[in-house]
Structure 1
Amino acid sequence: MVGPYRELFDVPGARGFVIAGFVGRLPMSMLGLSVVLLISALTGSYATAGAISATVAIAFAVAAPLSGRLVDRFGQARVLVPLVLLHGTALIALMLCAAYDAPIWALFVSGVFVGGAATSLGSMVRARWSHLLGRSARLHTAFSFESVADEVIFVAGPALATALTTMVNLYAGLIVTLVATLAGTIAFSLQRGTEPPVREDGARSGSPITIPGVALLSCVFLAMGAVFGSVDLITVAFAEDHGAKAVAGLLLASIASGSMVSGLWYGAQRWRISLRHRFIRGLVVFAAGLAPILLIADTRVMAAALFLAGLAISPTIITGYALVERLVPGPLLTEGMSWISTAVGFGVAIGAWAGGRLTDAFGASNAYAFSLLCALLAVAIGVGGNTLLRTPESGSEAHSPAT
């Protein structure tokens, strides 16, 4: 299973941008939590902390397609370096506002700039793989590898942020986030040899969101993001309800670990079934895997159930990005992938808000019903519009199991 992944790093320049991209996007799982831990500790209000964190997330979701479009038009280095410097400045401003007891509105304003200047570095990495590998079989493996890298980040990042903030210093989580973002993004940008070339026809093209298949995928990932956001919050409450709040991180790591394992397996396979059929089946398995968690009242059983529920996540996300790569013209590829990040970001914000209110009203176990309903909505959207996901390549593929 390791063989196909090892071959990726024979591509000239791949190791450099993969490592830099990993470091640069490690903070994506640390930023929101570090903000919540810092602001809640200083103000004593989780509501304020959550609102500022949500402001950062929503600002990123709104700005991501725009930064992706700028990258497609002017190139990665010319856009990423100014944006990451603005992001770093805004993050320093946020910490200073918190340290010197600035008015709450100042925290929200700095939060808007922190999120608005953040970049979807994962989309940039995938765009480089697409440029280097074209539509060869290795691109499937590369996208799978990046999905696994994302899951590693979401397993390690929250634990690192929590440890730094609670055991070292209240500002330590955000400081490490700042350093990793600046170092990783700048190092990534300086590797010009693997950067996709700017194609002039991209400036005259419309937005990828006007492509029906991309719009459909964005709606599906909006619903999936609501699952992710609600499950994260509800699971913390579930652990607390069962007198084991300390294991909440382990429960969340279980679902990410399941996704990581399935991503490694999925990327090592050579598939004959079409992309759109793989995507639909992944959504169905994703929804089916969530159903049992409504009936579980033991944290150990919940850990196993969440691991199983996570098994469908990476294959579905990998296939979704592959479909975007097939549906979107080359000059708009980065923006097209950024729309997936935007959809997930909005979904996470919606899911966290709804999950919190439902948990307060009906208890954690019952609130999981919202997560399942969002997963079923994703299935309904995907199945109902699956013909929009036809690609020239998938039309000629045989619909048979993987070999």
Structure 2
Amino acid sequence: MLQERRSDASLVSLAGRWYFPIAFVARLPFAMMVVGVLTLVVATRDSVALGGINSAFVGFGSALFGPLVGAAADRFGQRAVLVPVGLANAVLLALLPFVVAGSAPDLAVLAMSFGIGATAPQVAPMSRTRLVAIIRQRMAPRRHEKVLSGTMAYESAADETVFIVGPFLVGLLATAIAPWVAVAGAAALTFVFVTAFALHPTGRLVVRGGDHEETAPARQLLRPRLVVVVVGILGIGLFFGSTLTALTAFMEQHGESSQAGLLYGVMGIGSAALALGSAAFPRAFGVGWRWLVFGVVLLGGAIAFATADSVVAVAVVLGLMGIGIGPTLVAQYSLGSDRSPVGRSATTMTILGSAVIVGQSVASAVVGEVAERAGTGAAMAFPAYAAALVVVAAVVNVLLNRRSPVAR
């Protein structure tokens, strides 16, 4: 139950002790979708390229409809949007294994994948919106900056963790039981936990557009200082997708393609730890500079990944790359929250979340095709290209901050 306002209370006590476990598990299916579809199609229809294309269609669906889901939540409230969207997503996920295993043409599978992306519940951005509302409405103003910083660090760490744990679970279930079990599990998690998240009392705290404040015009979403954050976080999505697909091709070359998700989980160790530790960074080490510094670390690891030639070497490099991912995501989401137009918080956060899944999906399709046509070595170079985009966006962000009179 949502607690009454107390200016000295912790965020956990204000949100309720069950909020954070529910919100964490509810975002897992979102991270399992792309990898689950990729693994299922590759294993059932024996084509890395087809699996990558289906992953891309998941991303296209999320790109087209994800921001609309966020805008609808801003307009009508989260509960009214999340319940029907979550139920539709659970049904489509549950039906996908039957369609893939049956005699349906590839086009039907692509349509199902697009529908799964289009109905993806945007739990992570809506969770951020709820927590920001709690902080601003129920905490003393003097505590806002510190608590917001820690909250963005936790939320980014949670996102990073589920984007590692999700593929890990897919790999574990695919290896131990069967690839379809991972997709069925995502359907069950969506049905139970997304519904629980939608109905949680914190959803009533989020102010709907037009209730108490004037909503900023949609064109403010195209401001350069916000667009550069979207480009940077798209780079992270491209990095996720290219790394996992290249890793899948690498492990397939070693006869263990279904274990790619397990090895991918190594990247989450340093990533989650550094993301959570971001709140302890000194204020002099600004958010924009954190993005740039840890983006360079990510780029260095990606270059090493392109030259790795053994499973052990790949595992070590994945651990190094994880160090760069966590703090970079924290910085990007913090900047996105800070630059969100008035009344469009859920829309902004949904765009950022969709950018990750779009990048992941597009990279899965492209790198899957490259792996089949040009070989694993060529595919393993793509994470470096994605990391380079993250660094370039970080440099542009620093330059924009210097020129902008309202930059913090």
TM-score normalised by the chain length of structure 1: 0.86
Residues 149-164 of structure 1 mapped to structure 2, 5 A cutoff: 149-164=158-173
2:319 equivalent among 292, 301, 307: 307
Measure how far apart 1:70 and its partner are. Answer: 0.9
- Cα distance change of structure 1 residues 250 and 37 upon mapping to structure 2, 3 Å threshold: closer
2:99 equivalent in structure 1 = 97
1:286 aligns with 2:298: yes
Cα shift readout 1:117-159 (whole Å, capped 9, x = no counterpart): 1122111111112112244212221222222223332333233
2:151 equivalent among 130, 142, 145: 142
CA contact (8 A) 2:160 2:272 kept: yes
Letter in structure 2 aligned against 1:27: P
1:339 equivalent in structure 2 = 351
1:181 aligns with 2:190: yes
Cα shift readout 1:153-176 (whole Å, capped 9, x = no counterpart): 233323333343454455432222
Measure how far apart 1:178 and its partner are. Answer: 1.1
Distance 2:364 2:179 in 1: 23
Letter in structure 1 aligned against 2:394: G
Letter in structure 1 aligned against 2:30: M
Letter in structure 1 aligned against 2:153: S
| 144-153 vs 200-209, greater mean Cα deviation | 200-209
2:64 equivalent among 58, 62, 70: 62
CA contact (8 A) 2:14 2:134 kept: no
Aligned residues: 389
| 54-63 vs 237-246, greater mean Cα deviation | 237-246
Partner secondary structure for residue 119 of structure 1: coil
1:254 equivalent among 252, 263, 266: 266
Partner secondary structure for residue 197 of structure 1: coil
Distance 1:338 1:389 in 2: 23
CA contact (8 A) 1:286 1:312 kept: yes
1:3 equivalent in structure 2 = none
| 49-58 vs 159-168, greater mean Cα deviation | 159-168
Residues 73-88 of structure 1 mapped to structure 2, 5 A cutoff: 73-88=75-90
1:264 equivalent in structure 2 = 276
| 195-204 vs 243-252, greater mean Cα deviation | 243-252
CA contact (8 A) 2:38 2:51 kept: yes
Letter in structure 1 aligned against 2:388: L
Letter in structure 2 aligned against 1:355: V
Distance 2:100 2:368 in 1: 25
- Cα distance change of structure 1 residues 306 and 284 upon mapping to structure 2, 3 Å threshold: same
CA contact (8 A) 1:16 1:191 kept: no
2:207 equivalent in structure 1 = 197
1:216 equivalent among 216, 221, 228: 228
Partner secondary structure for residue 381 of structure 2: helix
CA contact (8 A) 2:157 2:330 kept: no
1:237 equivalent in structure 2 = 249
Distance 2:260 2:45 in 1: 23
1:131 equivalent in structure 2 = 133
Structure 2 unmatched ranges of 5 or more: 1-8, 137-143
Cα shift readout 1:39-96 (whole Å, capped 9, x = no counterpart): 4444444443433332122201221111111111111111111211222233344344
- Cα distance change of structure 1 residues 301 and 383 upon mapping to structure 2, 3 Å threshold: same
Measure how far apart 1:322 and its partner are. Answer: 0.8
Measure how far apart 1:216 and its partner are. Answer: 1.1
CA contact (8 A) 1:27 1:181 kept: yes
Letter in structure 1 aligned against 2:165: A
- Cα distance change of structure 1 residues 45 and 292 upon mapping to structure 2, 3 Å threshold: closer
Cα shift readout 1:197-244 (whole Å, capped 9, x = no counterpart): 213156562155312111111122222322221111112333444566
1:112 equivalent among 98, 102, 114: 114
Distance 1:247 1:143 in 2: 32
Letter in structure 2 aligned against 1:74: F
Distance 1:8 1:287 in 2: 37
- Cα distance change of structure 1 residues 356 and 311 upon mapping to structure 2, 3 Å threshold: same
Give the CA RMSD over aligned residues: 2.8
Letter in structure 2 aligned against 1:198: R
Partner secondary structure for residue 161 of structure 1: helix
Measure how far apart 1:342 and its partner are. Answer: 2.3
CA contact (8 A) 2:83 2:198 kept: yes
2:141 equivalent in structure 1 = none
CA contact (8 A) 1:260 1:314 kept: yes
Distance 2:184 2:239 in 1: 30
2:28 equivalent among 26, 32, 43: 26
Partner secondary structure for residue 331 of structure 1: coil
2:365 equivalent among 353, 357, 366: 353
Distance 1:146 1:314 in 2: 11
1:16 aligns with 2:18: yes
2:289 equivalent in structure 1 = 277
CA contact (8 A) 2:156 2:326 kept: yes
| 244-253 vs 82-91, greater mean Cα deviation | 244-253
- Cα distance change of structure 1 residues 181 and 268 upon mapping to structure 2, 3 Å threshold: farther
Structure 1 unmatched ranges of 5 or more: 1-6, 396-403
CA contact (8 A) 1:55 1:111 kept: yes
Distance 1:278 1:335 in 2: 25
Distance 1:109 1:262 in 2: 38
